[in-house]
Structure 1
């Protein structure tokens, strides 16, 4: 069988095979990203230091078809004015959220995290206890002093159907290309 292999064209076949493999992998990656994910630009600095203004993130749109958002997930949700915002899930359905003394309380207990996400200087409408319905979430930006979030009546509690998906990867700027972790 090796008698019929032409050494002059063997290198050409290897290059063509390699190029076809690269094209197939790129096409598969493109399909997966655009079929199951979405690109969303981050507007404003409300999620600093995790995300900054003009970062572009990939959002997993399928993850919440299987289960619901969990505490500390970074999610994209659609506001009533049809703009997409990026915030962190703090309060879950059925919980009571209150901000007093600069701390977030969930069902009367201080939100227990070690990265400062429980501290808030402005309580907004959460200065009195807010009871979340069975399909509502309380979202806050990580940069609490510069975030328009569930503390304010123009955002309020976010319903499950408003949540577009979970942020999982930053694609731009290229120097900050990285997976985004919930905690």
Structure 2
């Protein structure tokens, strides 16, 4: 009985090639799906388009948005968020810092932000506010509403003004996470440097 070894080897080679093609195709599909998932649900790149967050962020800075940040936790005070308000005509993202949280009452008096009648302790270096806008009177935030301000307090359109107003949770794209150039985490930019009493006394001397 004669056995066709050449034919058997050819079949094995064809099966191997088909297997490699299938694996290669699956890997390509997996990479495409992963890239889609990352852009759609995890991270996104954006550009700062105004001076409203100076000196923390400069106009033209490239940022990475963490779009998963608020799927597992709620926004916190002083988070820098990226949002796009529903029904607004402009196509760019707004970038501001959260100051007031749902259920709180916000008011700006004598250039200082008050939350529930208590002045807040700023975590970033900011100027006193010249124009309190709508917040000259107490603003009580509803459920899922956030009061936001730009760090450039006297050159920012934010929750003090009717064209922005309070930001609702569903309009938040994500948390401003990383500044690409020069590289840094956004929450580490422009911090208030706390000085101890001893350091203050030494400075006076």
* TM-score higher than 0.5: yes
Give the alignment partner of residue 178 of structure 1, picking from 162, 181, 184: 184
- Contact residue 127 and residue 152 of structure 2 kept, 8 A: no
CA RMSD of aligned residues (A): 2.1
Once the two structures are superposed, residues 27-78 of structure 1 have per-residue CA deviations (whole angstroms, 9 ceiling, x without a partner) of 7xx9485351011111111101111101110000011011111000000010
The aligned residue for residue 108 of structure 1 is 117
Which of 145, 148, 152 lines up with 1:139 in the alignment? Answer: 148
Larger radius of gyration: 2
Any gaps of 5 or more consecutive residues in structure 2?
Answer: 1-30, 192-205
Structure with bigger strand share is: 1
| Equivalent residue runs for 1:1-183 within 5 Å | 31=35, 34=39, 36-79=42-85, 80-81=88-89, 82-113=91-122, 115-117=124-126, 119-171=128-180, 174=181, 176-181=182-187
Aligned to 1:24: none
Write the deviation string for residues 95-114 of structure 1: whole angstroms up to 9, x where unpaired. Answer: 00000111000000001125
1:115 and 1:46 mapped to 2: Cα distance? 14
Q: How many angstroms apart in 2 are the aligned matches of 1:44 and 1:138?
A: 19
CA contact 1:170–1:178 (8 Å) conserved in 2: yes
| CA distance in structure 2 between the aligned counterparts of 1:120 and 1:49, rounded to whole angstroms | 15
Contact 2:127 2:153 in 1 (8 A): no
- Aligned-partner SS, 1:161: helix
Aligned partners of 1:180 and 1:76: how far apart in 2?
12
Which TM-score applies when normalising by structure 1? 0.77
- Seen in structure 2, the aligned counterparts of structure 1 residues 41 and 114 have a Cα distance that, compared at 3 Å, is closer
SS at the partner of 1:146? coil
Query: CA, structure 1 residues 118+53, in 2 after alignment: closer, same or farther (shift >3 Å)?
Result: closer
